[in-house]
Structures are given as structure tokens and as C-alpha cells.
Amino acid sequence: MLSWKIVAFASLCITCEKASAFSSSSPSRLSETSSSALHSTPESLIVDKSQGKKKWFPTKAQDALFTQYDTLVRGAFVRHVLLETEEMGDIAMKTYLRGDISGLDENDKLDPFGKLARDISACSKSREEAGKIGWIDNPFHPSNLGKPMINEVVSELISPKVIEDLFKARPKGGDVLKIGDSDGDKFHLCRIDDLLLDYVNQEKSKEDMEIQDSTLQFKQRGVNKVITDRSKLKGLGITPVAPKISELANDDESDENVAKSYHIATSGCQMNVADSERLAGVLENNLKLQIAEKPGNADVVILNTCSIRDHAEQKVYDALGPFAARKRRGEPLALIVSGCVAQQEGEALLKRVPEVDLVMGPQYVSRLGDLLDDVSRGHQVVATDPTLLSEDLSRPVRGHDMRAWVNVINGCNEHCTYCVVPGVRGVEQSRPMESILKECMELAEAGYKEITLLGQNIDAYGRDLSPKRTFADLLHYLNDAIPDDTIQRIRYVTSHPRYFSDRVIEAVATLDKVCECFHMPFQAGDDEVLKNMRRGYTFDSYMKIINKIKEQSPDASICGDVIVGFPGETEEQFQRTLDLMNEVKFDNLNTFAYSPRPNTEAAVWKDKQIPEDVKAERLQRVQRLAAQHGMERSQRYVGKTVEVLVEDRNPRNADQVMGRTRQNRQVFFDGNIDELKGKLVDVDIIEARTWSLVGQLR
């Protein structure tokens, strides 16, 4: 028998609180199958085809996990709709895909598949139970091979052939697949609600520990590397282990050996901020830790790192210094490095700073509890292998009580030649629309007024889902399903010009909750530079999008990112960047001087690197021009009345409040924050500043 207790907390729940299903029914093996070469190599895995001429990268999580998939996915929680003919299967799939939720009640909006099953399934049991079949083993998982175990209840609903076909398709959570039965006259729409992933197998690890004897030994368990023998510190013996965290702490454990407080230091983009909120959620809600009054006293310290910019790695090593010193002094402390630098450095980080207990890449945020469990047992853990992302069952600890980040797609399939993101965040993995809506509904219930949907390349949303979805579909779905008197504004970042579609422009122009604010990084104005960056668009095609936006949403704000001093950029080419800025007139611009990043292509174009003083001078010029445009864009509001959502007190003037327009411009005006917070108010704009406005409450 599999040890379900062990994997239970490693479950993920895609649409609803299905974790409870574990306690009720253990999955059982349905048929004996040979693992044979059923899964062939995906085309997209052929990397670096002809000496750097054309590169192919994995584009789906399942492709990136090609060799691991069968050892990672133990089982799936499946629901189905049974249909008598293939034609009916196609119609049902189309109905599901159309996602028309108007007229559905709130629960059905969150679960359109369940509604479909209740309405049309030819199987009475699935009609009664919104299609539920339950947990099914992956017949190709090594621990399931040669263990035939028929669960009669399940076998009445679905045949072994359908189950094999289901897992052969390497599904992800949220996927809906149409599969024919063995007799060919019945079809199933199968929805994967939940996947059971092999992250931690503690029983196996105990055996592993006994057979390990050398100093630094890594053992593959699931997808984590666990180091059982910590390396020696010069003159001090073995690195002190971390305090006990979570359930492993016994009642009789001395107080100082049990972790009570935590500190998270975050650097980088909104994605990292959102990740830190989720890490804090696991620590507070699952492990019952509290935020430390002083970082220096925390029992659990997480450095959530970013590697986009210069010297990121060195900064992390510097920041680790004082915490490592605490450990060397014998203080119990769990020291964790997460985020992009963790992913990039991996095991090397442990070798350089052996006091670190856990190195975890961004894909492991929701697994923090499992990983800390290992740390509690005295091990060091490196969790950086690619994996399927799981839904978080713990609620994030949000940094704000009125506006919140919501991840919609993780990772990036682009390979811009300057960027570390695909290397550290992995391939795109979209969350199912229903899971995103569920998170939004929870935020709505908690009184949030604004959400920002997050993705490195948000326009790519849904292309990895089965059936495919688009970002425009998601905007429509959320706008329709979120009740009007709750969340008032939906924002999103970041758009990629190569993927930006007319449907998104149309959605922004027509959907009442979606704000007229476009973040569209252009990076450079010159076509040759854009080509060398591998951006996939030109000056003209970028301007085409901007002009469409201006036509359909004349009031919209347009923001961007730009990099100056990209390898090989001439003064003339840099001028094209200024030309593009002059044509667009950005409301706001994030400006970067190119910095060579590890494992990126442009970093090794040695003879093309631009001297630092030239980059600095170009940066100043774009910043000056951006400020000029910022002021021009602010001035258009003067004398107008704008709708402002009030967020906070003005940090520099306690008698004033700060809110934002739909276009995301900050507005400061006199007012009482206790009365106004979270309210939509009309404000007359009386003064323009470069990046903000001053107004008077109407």
C-alpha cells in the first residue's frame, strides 16, 4: 500500500478544498500496465538544434518534466461527464470551453464543469455528484507498477483504458480531456481537479539516511535533494541545525528548540512580493509562527531573492552573513534562501554558506511546509528541480487590506537573450480560471476592492491549459463572475507586445472592472536591437498596438520598461528608443541599464558589451525624457474630475489621503483615511506632478 498519510499534505487543490478527500478514500490501482515507452519525446525538447542557430525549448510544464513526470505524479482527483457519442462529447467540450457563465448561480460560476456534469452526464452517479469519480492512481508511476488493485466503485464509472489514456496525456491540474472508452461508443470528458505529487516521501528518506555516510550526499526524493550530513564548519564542527518547526515539535520539546517567529526579506518585482505573501501564509496559517518583532531575533529567516539586476548574487551572500554568524554562535535558526537567486545558485549556495538550511526555487513556494518538515529533521534541502505547480491551500498574508496580487500564470516561455526569468521561474504554467476566480471571491468576501493579476507574460495565459484559454477569456470570466459591489477594479501586469491581442484591447475598453491601464514593456526602439534581444516585434508592430489602444481607450495610461546599453547598441540605435518614447509618451516608464546576467545569451557577447559610463549616460537621457512625458501625461488631468479609489494615508502628510485613478496615477488630497479607505470618490484635480496628481475631494 502507498503511504497516503505522507503524501496527504503534499496534495494540491485546484478548484476547491478537495484535500479532505484524502481522508475518505485511498486511491486504488485499477489495472496492471507495463510502463513501456508510452510517452514519447516531445518535439519541443530538442534543445539547441544546430549549434546555436535555432533553439527549441520546452514550452509546457509536462515537456520540461519529461523524464520525471511518471515518477512525480502519483495520482489524480478526477471528475467526468459521460457521453453516449463522440459528437456529444464535442458539443459538451465546446459548451465548457465557451465558458458562458451568465445566468449561473455563484457556485456554478466557480464550477462550470460540475454544472455540466449535473446537467448532461449519461451516468446517474456523476449527475448526482457533479461528476466526481475520486482519486485514481497513475498506472505509470513506479510504485504502482505490478500492484493490480481494482476499486470496484471506480471501475463502474471509468475503464482502465480511459485511465491509461488520461495519464498518457500528462495532464495538469484543471485540464479537461475528451477520452473515448475501449468499446468506442462512449466518451468521457475528464477534469483533473487535483494532482497528487511525489514531493516528500519521508519513510523512504529514513532508509536513505541510513545508507548515506559521506559528507555532502544528495539523494533524489521526489524532486528535492536532501542532504543528510551537513558539512563541517572550520574549527566549529557541524553546523547547528534548525529549530523544530510545525507538527514535528513535541509538547515536551524545550521552548528554545521550537520556532515561534519568522522574518521574510523580499527583493524584486511584484511576483516576489506575491510569493512572499504566500510564504508568510504557510508560516502563519499552517505552522502557527508569528512575524518577529526584530529580524535579528527571528527563528525562521527567509531571504526571498531576485536576480534580475546587477550583483544580485553577491548581495544575497552579503545579506546572509549576519544570520550565518548567528548560527555559528549556536543560536537555533532556520535559514532559507528562496526566489530567483536560490534557483540560480542551487547547491552552490549550500557549499558557499553551509549554515543555510533550505534553498528553494520560486516553483516551491506552496511546498514550504513540506520542505521545512525536512529541515526540522535536521537536514539541508535543495528544491530547485522543475516541477508542476500546485495550488496553495494556505491563505497568503497580504501586504495590503484593500488591494491584492493574484498570480494567474507562472514562469515564462520566452527566451529574451538578456533575461534570467525563464531559467529561474521555469516554463509557463497557467492556473485554471476557476481557481483564480475562487481566490478573487475570497478576496471579495474579505473586503478587497482591487486585484492585480500577475504574470511575466500575461498575454500567454491559458495556452498551456487543456482546452486552451486566452487572457481575454479570463478577463471576461472574472469581470462577469465577481459581484459588482465587491472588487471594483481589475488590473494586470505584464503584457508582452508579441502576444498582445485585439481581444484584450477590446476587453479593457468594454469591461467595467478592468482598468484602462496598459503595461507594455518595449525594451528598445531599434529593430536590430529588438531582434538581438529576441523580442519578436519591431518598432512598427509595437506602435500598431499602441495606436489601437489609443483608438479604443483614448483615456488609457500606457506604461513600459526599457533597457539601455544592450550589447552592441549604437548611439544611433539608442536614438530609436528615444524616438519610440516620443511617439508613445509613456505615463510611466521603468528604466534599466543592461546588466549581464548568469546563464543568459547576451551576457557572453564579450566584444559587444557597452561601457558602464555610456550606459549610465543613456539611462539619464531616457529618465529625463520619461519625466518630461510623465509630466505631460499628468497635466491632461488638471481641471478634470477623476474617480479615485482611496488606499492609504499620505505618508508625508497625515491630513491627506492617497488613492489611484483607474489609470493607476496616484492622487493626493485632504481627507480622513478612516472615513475614506476603500471608497471610490470623485476628486477634482488641481495640480499635476511628474508621476502623481494633487486634488480636492468633490
Binding stretches for ligand SF4 (CB under 6 A): 412, 414, 416, 419, 421-422, 456-457, 496
Q: Could you tell which of ligand SAM, ligand SF4, none binds residue 269, using a CB distance below 5 to 8 A set by kind? A: ligand SAM
Residue 564 has which C-alpha cell? 539601455
Smallest distance from ligand SF4 to CB 411, Å: 9
Binding partner at 492 among ligand SAM, ligand SF4, none, C-beta below 5 to 8 Å by kind: none
- Please choose which of ligand SF4, ligand SAM, none residue 138 contacts, taking the beta carbon within 5 to 8 angstroms, the exact cut-off set by kind: none
Cell of 357: 538550511
Residue type, 37: A
Residue 597 C-beta: closest distance to ligand SAM, Å? 5
CA dihedral 654, 656, 659, 660 (to 10 degrees): -120
- 3-class state of residue 421 by DSSP: helix
Q: How far is the CB of 83 from ligand SAM (least distance, A)?
A: 40
Distance in Å, CB of 363 to ligand SF4, minimum: 15
For the record, the C-alpha cell of 197 comes out as 505529487
**Residue with smaller CB distance to ligand SAM, 14 or 622:** 622
Q: How far is the CB of 496 from ligand SF4 (least distance, A)?
A: 5
- What is the closest distance, in whole angstroms, from the C-beta atom of residue 490 to ligand SF4 in the complex? 21
CB of 458 to ligand SF4, least distance (A): 10
CB 560 within 8 A of CB 590: yes
Residues with Cβ within 8 Å of 141's Cβ and at least 6 positions away in sequence, in order, are 70, 71, 73, 74, 75, 198
Q: Are 627 and 581 spatial neighbours (Cβ–Cβ below 8 Å)?
A: no
- Which residue do the cell numbers 508625508 mark? 652
Buried b (16+ CB within 10 A) or exposed e, 243-260: bbbbeebeeeeeeeebbb
Establish how many alpha carbons lie within 13 A of residue 384's alpha carbon, considering only the half-sphere containing its beta carbon.
21
Interface contacts to ligand SAM, rule CB under 6 A: 269, 308, 418-419, 421, 456-457, 494, 496, 521, 523, 561, 563, 592, 594-595, 597
In the numeric block, the cell 519541443 is attached to: 44
Which partner, ligand SF4, ligand SAM, none, binds residue 422 by CB below 5 to 8 Å per kind?
A: ligand SF4
Task: Centre a 10 Å sphere on the Cβ of residue 52 and count the other Cβ atoms it contains.
Answer: 8
Of 90 and 561, nearer to ligand SAM (C-beta) is 561
373 binds, among ligand SF4, ligand SAM, none (CB under 5 to 8 A by kind): none
Residue 16 interaction partner, one of ligand SF4, ligand SAM, none, beta carbon < 5-8 Å per kind = none
Q: Which is nearer to ligand SAM, 416 or 472 (CB)?
A: 416
* Nearer of residues 89 and 560 to ligand SAM, judged by Cβ: 560
The residue assigned the cell 521552548 is 255
Comparing CB distances to ligand SF4, the nearer of 177 and 308 is: 308
Phi-psi region of 90 (alpha: psi -120 to 50; beta: other; left: phi over 0): alpha
Give, for 434, the enclosing helix (H) or strand (E).
helix 433-445
561 binds, among ligand SAM, ligand SF4, none (CB under 5 to 8 A by kind): ligand SAM
State the nearest-atom distance from the C-beta of 598 to ligand SF4, in Å.
14
Residue whose CB is less far from ligand SF4, 363 or 394: 363
Helices assigned H by DSSP within 282-331: 312-328
Terminal-to-terminal C-alpha distance of the chain = 69
Q: 615 contacts which partner out of ligand SF4, ligand SAM, none, CB within 5 to 8 A by kind? A: none
Closer to ligand SF4 at the Cβ: 448 or 522? 522
Q: Answer for the pair 370, 223: CB distance below 8 angstroms, yes or no.
A: no
Q: Cβ of residue 456: shortest distance to ligand SF4, in angstroms?
A: 4
- Give 414 or 450: the residue with its C-beta nearer to ligand SF4: 414
160 vs 426, beta carbon nearer ligand SF4 = 426
Reported for 112-115, long-range contacts at CB under 8 A and 24+ positions apart, including other chains, are 112/434, 113/79, 113/81, 113/176, 113/189, 113/191, 113/434, 114/79
How near is the Cβ of 207 to ligand SAM at its closest, in Å? Answer: 42
Q: How far is the CB of 419 from ligand SF4 (least distance, A)?
A: 3
Considering the complex, state which of residue 113 and residue 592 has its C-beta at the smaller distance from ligand SAM: 592
Pick from 199, 239, 195: nearest CA to 368 = 199
> Among ligand SAM, ligand SF4, none, what does residue 64 contact (CB within 5–8 Å per kind)?
none
- DSSP, res 514: B
Nearer to ligand SF4, 419 or 581 (CB): 419
643 binding partner (options ligand SAM, ligand SF4, none; Cβ < 5 to 8 Å by kind): none
The torsion of the CA quartet 602, 605, 608, 611, rounded to 10 degrees, works out to 70
Question: Could you tell me if 77 and 192 are in contact, meaning their C-beta atoms sit under 8 angstroms apart?
Answer: yes
Write the single-letter amino acid at 260: K
Cα–Cα dist 578/132, whole Å: 58
308 binds, among ligand SAM, ligand SF4, none (CB under 5 to 8 A by kind): ligand SAM
